[in-house]
Amino acid sequence: MWIQRHFQLPAFPRGFHLVTRPVLEAVPEIADLHIGMFHLFIQHTSASLSINENADPDVRVDMETYMNHIAPEHGLPLVHTIEGPDDMPAHVKSSLLGAAIQVPIQDGRLAFGTWQGIYLCEHRNHGGARRLVATLHGQAK
């Protein structure tokens, strides 16, 4: 069975946001699969997706701190500046973290580890709503 859903997440402020729940709500068919794969792709170049800690919100704050240290908005000679000082660093962060994640499906659920969840990593100060494509492939229950 193959299923694909296009959906949108609302605008989030800059930072790392746990979005597991709204993503799962967009693809309820996961519950119908015994075994399979879940692929999630973000259709933007200044935001990214990641799987990381879902319990302690301090991790999300620290992730933003580290990424800003790796790709600062000021102090480097940038050529692509037409969209503002946060845009080119956002592209770098997006390339480092990636535009997609993949998670196995097991018995109708994503086979996450105990403390894992899906992050929307918003790298722009005002990124706006973000479009995503979820693709499921697997064996029905």
Boundaries of domain holding 32: 2-140
The pLDDT tens digits for 84-124 are 999 999 999 999 999 999 999 999 999 999 999 999 999 99
The pLDDT tens digits for 6-44 are 999 999 999 999 999 999 999 999 999 999 999 999 999
Q: Which pair of tokens denotes residue 75? A: 């102090």
| Mean pLDDT of the residues in the chain | 97
What is the Cα–Cα distance from 86 to 45, expressed in whole angstroms?
A: 12
Residues in CB range of 37: below 8 A, 6 or more apart: 102, 103, 104, 105, 136, 137, 138
**DSSP H stretches of helix in the chain:** 20-26, 58-70, 87-97
What does the angle CA 109 – CA 113 – CA 114 come to, to the nearest 5 degrees? 100
The pLDDT tens digits for 102-113 are 999 999 999 999
Q: Give me the number of domains the chain comprises.
A: 1
Domain with 22 in it: what CATH number? 2.60.120.460
Provide, rounded to the nearest whole percent, the portion of the chain with pLDDT above 90.
Answer: 97
